[in-house]
């Protein structure tokens, strides 16, 4: 692409990465981390951040080489070709964003319930979850441009809020609560980091904008590293303030909206209310943007013949069926699985995807001019993180692991059936038209 046609500078690229990560994740999973890591919650966020920064190296190298809005989809296809593995991973990626939408919707409901004077009626939770998905569905169908225009402002509000909590709460920290005597076991701290890893999901969105980023050879790597490092610092400081200012018993009683409690010591009830409102805004915005992005991801994959053609249907440049299907499936997931299980499934799904992206980068290391030792470390870190999460969670929450494995089985089965009966014919037609280099199943 001509440099003149590129419209996103370094600041804009970093904003995409920060906006992708600081979505609803931190509002949803902070309490989960506290329940396992206790006083070492900040360390858990640091562990997860290390996996993210290592993986961002693979994304940076791959993005410079393969500048395409397909991002992760293109990386896996480039490394492995169109086959069972790449087709299954692309479908898992699409499903993983459904889980992410569900996580944000359940978090929206948790913070929303705080305005109903502690009403925990199941019907209210499900109503709020449904509203959190249905309204963005309508917005996406009516005005996709509203989604992109509003994101920059909402990202600014979210980051400003986190900084406010950090600055105001720093004067109320009880360092005794952060001492090692209040830490969880080493293993539980690592597990906590892996369960909340979904809070770092989002930096990969920079890859989807690679075609539009100016001076990509320099700005793409800088954007990946800067955005992840900034978010690591934000999350670690937020964890320190939360654990250091609020008694753990209170955090565990209200772990679904723990971040609102973190504002209370310094800002009182007003702070609690401000954070709760901001959480509603942040999670709603994240749902809006993820429906927008996943519908377009499905559109891209479907255009390549790897998902049903119904996802290609669009009107006014809006992939309407993709929007409807994304929202509909997210509604089912969000209303069927609790917050802890969704966080586990989401983190496991993205750890799997990031592991395979790291493997893709290792396979293409010579072509993308990457350091094999760093990429091998990224493969090892993401693979070990996924294995740790699965092994621990199997004994404590077998249902979450069963759902995660079901997603993998569904993806492989779909690819086996759809790929062999339909997609093979799609690529054979392209081949007959003279398109070379396509790998058939």
Cα–Cα dist 386/250, whole Å: 30
Query: In angstroms, rounded to a whole number, what is the distance separating the alpha carbons of residues 121 and 343?
Result: 22
CA–CA gap between residue 401 and residue 404 (Å, rounded): 5
Q: What are the beta bridge partners of residue 213? A: 8
Look up residue 379 and give its two tokens: 């493969």
Closest to 232 measured CA to CA, from 355, 52, 104 = 52
Phi (first) and psi of residue 337, to 5 degrees = -125, 140
Residue ranges per structural domain of the chain = 3-428
103 alpha carbon, distance to own chain's centre: 10
* Coarse DSSP helix, strand, coil percentages of the chain, rounded to the nearest 5 percent: 85, 0, 15
Q: How many other CB atoms are there within 10 angstroms of residue 370's CB atom? A: 21
Q: Pick from 221, 293, 226, 285: which is nearest to 73 by CA?
A: 293
User: CA 333, CA 106: separation in Å to the nearest integer?
Assistant: 10
Strands (E), 362-438: none
Using 50 as the pLDDT threshold, list the residues of the chain that sit under it: 425-441
Contact, 293 vs 280, CB < 8 A?
no
pLDDT 10s digits, 360-417? 999 999 999 999 999 999 999 999 999 988 988 887 788 888 989 999 998 888 888 7
Residue 24 dihedral angles phi and psi, to the nearest 5°: -90, -10
CATH class, range 3-428 = mainly alpha
pLDDT computed for residue 329 by the predictor: 93
- The secondary structure of residue 207, as a DSSP letter, is H
């Amino acid at each position: 692409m001509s440099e003149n046609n590129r419209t996103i500078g370094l600041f804009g690229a970093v904003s995409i990465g920060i906006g992708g990560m600081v979505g609803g994740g931190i509002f949803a999973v902070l309490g989960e981390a506290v329940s396992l890591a206790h006083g070492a919650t900040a360390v858990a966020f640091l562990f997860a951040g290390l996996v993210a920064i290592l993986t961002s190296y693979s994304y940076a190298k791959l993005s410079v080489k393969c500048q395409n809005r397909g991002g992760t989809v293109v990386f896996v296809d480039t490394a492995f070709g169109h086959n069972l593995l790449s087709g299954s991973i692309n479908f898992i990626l699409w499903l993983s964003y459904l889980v992410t939408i569900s996580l944000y919707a359940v978090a929206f409901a948790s913070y929303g319930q705080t305005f109903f004077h502690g009403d925990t009626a199941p019907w209210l939770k499900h109503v709020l979850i449904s509203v959190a998905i249905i309204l963005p569905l309508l917005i996406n169908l009516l005005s996709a441009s509203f989604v992109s225009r509003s994101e920059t402002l909402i990202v600014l509000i979210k980051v400003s809020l986190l900084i406010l909590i950090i600055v105001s709460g720093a004067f109320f920290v009880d360092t005794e609560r952060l001492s090692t005597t209040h830490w969880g076991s080493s293993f539980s701290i690592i597990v906590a980091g892996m369960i909340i890893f979904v809070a770092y999901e989002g930096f990969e969105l920079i890859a989807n904008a690679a075609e539009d980023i100016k001076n990509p050879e320099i700005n793409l790597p800088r954007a990946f590293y800067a955005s992840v490092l900034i978010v690591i610092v934000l999350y670690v400081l937020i964890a320190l303030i939360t654990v250091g200012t609020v008694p753990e018993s209170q955090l565990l009683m209200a772990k679904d909206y723990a971040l609102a409690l973190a504002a209370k010591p310094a800002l009182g009830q007003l702070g609690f209310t401000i954070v709760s409102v901001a959480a509603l805004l942040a999670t709603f915005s994240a749902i809006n943007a993820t429906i927008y992005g996943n519908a377009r991801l499905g559109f891209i994959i479907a255009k390549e013949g790897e998902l049903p053609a119904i996802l290609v249907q669009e009107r006014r440049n809006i992939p309407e069926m993709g929007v409807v299907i994304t929202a509909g499936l997210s509604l089912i997931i969000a209303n069927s699985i609790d917050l802890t299980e969704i966080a586990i499934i989401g983190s496991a799904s993205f750890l799997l995807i990031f592991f395979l992206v790291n493997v893709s980068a290792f396979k293409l290391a010579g072509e993308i001019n990457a350091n094999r030792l760093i990429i091998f470390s990224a493969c090892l870190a993401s693979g070990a993180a996924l294995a740790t999460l699965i092994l621990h969670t199997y004994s404590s929450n077998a249902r979450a692991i069963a759902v995660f494995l079901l997603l993998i089985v569904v993806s492989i089965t779909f690819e086996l059936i759809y790929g062999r009966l339909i997609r093979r014919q799609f690529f054979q037609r392209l081949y007959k038209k003279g398109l070379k280099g396509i790998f058939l199943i």
